[in-house]
Amino acid sequence: MSTATIERTAPVSRPARVHEPIPMTRLVGVEVSKMFNTRSGFWLLASSGIAAAVATIATVLFAPKDQLGYGNFAGAVGFPMSVILPMIAILAVTSEWSQRTGLTTFTLVPHRGRVIGSKLVATLGVGAVSIALAFAVGALGNVIGSSIAGVPVRWDVSLGSAALIFLADALGMLMGFTLGILIRSSAGAIVGYFVYALVLPAALGTLASFQDWFASRQGWIDFNFSVGNLYDHIPSSKEWAQLGASGMLWLVIPLAVGLWMVRRSEVK
């Protein structure tokens, strides 16, 4: 009786497929598109340009002739931008939780730090374009308003002052971004920002009016107060130090805590 010999061959090993990480530029592009692909996001971004145009037209119509200058136009345009830009930053973060897309996002890109980083870059990029557009609208209004009033065009805002305004608006966006990271709810973060931007300055200002010990230390504690100096004048070395100290208290530490919470929280 013959026996058949069955030879077993070892399975052929195939090299493991290595997937390249998604480029950061693609992540930023996706986050920018997500800021535009909803009606609320689109109109919030569009409102920055609309508000700049309305503020410029109002300045042309109602400002006295001797008050027409680029400084007044920049101030009129800057006020609505200081409110709209933080809202854009908040919604850029909280949309993952409010619209329940976080599970999909963090499954496709497991490294949450890269996702949050791309949101930050996209937010600051959109904010920079919005601020530049507002400055351009204000400049156009300055030229047109001066021509209508028959007065010389005044460019009374230096490049240094414009850069400080740009920095102040960027810090406002970062504060909105920080609140979005901490609270992760659109409604809660927006309410939190208005408490920070409207209620808290009034409370601390009242305290400074009645308590001399706090008035001399307000710049070291009140971040909103320190940022406000950027709109008014070029800060001194002491005011820069106050901005850094209060920013560490209100911006850097809360942002670090929020990032730690996002990286370790359960996504549903």
Within a domain: 235: yes
As to burial, measured by CB atoms within 10 angstroms (0-12 exposed, 13-18 middle, 19+ buried), residue 23 is: exposed
Within a domain: 15: no
Which residue has tokens 């809660």?
A: 188
Within a domain: 14: no
Q: Give the single-character DSSP code of 150.
A: T
pLDDT number for residue 1: 46
pLDDT number for residue 63: 77
pLDDT along the chain (268 residues), means of 10: 51 58 80 77 78 83 78 80 86 76 68 83 87 84 83 81 87 91 88 90 89 86 89 87 93 91 73
Q: What is the pTM of this model?
A: 0.82
Within a domain: 155: yes
Closest CA to 263 of 107, 89, 110, 47: 110
Q: What are the tokens at 54?
A: 């309305």
Range of the domain at 156: 24-258
Within a domain: 16: no
Q: How many domains does the chain fold into?
A: 1
Sign of CA dihedral 66, 57, 155, 143: negative
For every residue of 176-227, DSSP letters joined together read HHHHHHHH--HHHHHHHHHIIIIIHHHHHHHHHHH-HHHHTTHHHH-HHHHH
pLDDT number for residue 98: 67
pLDDT number for residue 18: 57
Within a domain: 1: no
As a whole number of angstroms, the distance between CA 130 and CA 220 comes to: 30
